[in-house]
Amino acid sequence: MRNQISSALVFIAVVLFQCTDILAQPAAAPAPAGPTNITKILEKAGQFTTLIRLMRITQISDQINGQLNDTNNGLTIFAPADNAFSSLKSGTLNSLTDQQKVQLIQFHIIPSFISATQFQTISNPVRTQAGDSSARFPLNVTTSGNQVNVSTGVDDATVANTIYTDNQLAVYQVDKVLLPLSLFGAPAPALAPAPTSGEDKKKKSAADTPTSGDDTPSSDASGLRVHGMAVCFGAAIFATVWL
């Protein structure tokens, strides 16, 4: 009898110890402190010093941070790493005016959040943040399996990996700088007809439709915790009854 009681006490002690341990676990990863900061995200990823510098001198990093704070649509950013910039033909960046540098960087930004799976069903052409008209700076996205390519009409880039995603902002590394046709294409034939407003509208609505959202992050950690609590509770009842 004495033996039974002491082993029951040991059992309860062990259960209590386990339970405090489980309950002490944080329920979920803590939210990042403060507003989203694109510079910080790129700094942390490393290898994006040129992009960070261009975003700073064009003040686009402030614009991005402000937009993330103000709008619900979110943003998607294609981020070329330093080696993508260094493999540009020399003088490419220097040949651009300040205004064109702004357009080049804005061309890498889509004014809505696009998850990796949403690329599969996106409608082309995709509107970017560059220019004031959807017709001037379009991108086309093509996919094959998990591979996602982005074409500008001048070059084709491949999405290499996801640097950051939080369901509001997605940052994807691309292996090339996206060169807009309207800055780097062959000089357009003079007097190209302006698109009719009807056509413009159609394109805009196609580009504005970002697909089904099914990217709710799974809550594995909190599921585990609930499970752990149930086990603790059950064990405590069992121990009480046993005594």
Ligand X SMILES: *[C@@H]1O[C@H](CO)[C@@H](O)[C@H](O)[C@H]1NC(C)=O
Using CB under 6 A as the criterion, which residues of the chain lie in contact with ligand X when the complex forms?
35, 37, 39-40, 43, 65-66, 69, 124-125, 138, 140, 142-144, 147, 149, 151-153, 156, 158, 181
Q: How far, in Å, CA of 92 to CA of 179, rounded?
A: 10
Nearer to ligand X, 76 or 232 (CB): 76
Is the preceding omega at residue 210 within 30 degrees of 0, hence cis? no
HEC profile of 98-128: HHHHHHHHHCCEECCCCCCHHHHHCCCCEEC
Nearer to ligand X, 49 or 219 (CB): 49
Nearer to ligand X, 135 or 231 (CB): 135
Contact 177, 81 (CB under 8 A): no
The single-letter DSSP state of residue 80 is E
Quote the Cα angle for 64-94-148, to 5°: 50
Least distance in angstroms from the C-beta of 5 to ligand X: 60
Least distance in angstroms from the C-beta of 203 to ligand X: 10
Nearer to ligand X, 134 or 232 (CB): 134
Q: How far, in Å, CA of 178 to CA of 125, rounded?
A: 14
The candidate with the shortest Cα–Cα distance to 52, out of 120, 133, 108, is: 108
Question: Which residues face 156 on adjacent strands?
Answer: 151
Least distance in angstroms from the C-beta of 101 to ligand X: 20
Count of other CB atoms within 10 angstroms of residue 143: 15
Phi and psi of 108, rounded to 5°?
A: -90, 5
Nearer to ligand X, 51 or 232 (CB): 51
Least distance in angstroms from the C-beta of 86 to ligand X: 19
Least distance in angstroms from the C-beta of 140 to ligand X: 4
Q: What is the identity of the amino acid at 233?
A: F
Nearer to ligand X, 55 or 102 (CB): 55
Least distance in angstroms from the C-beta of 185 to ligand X: 9
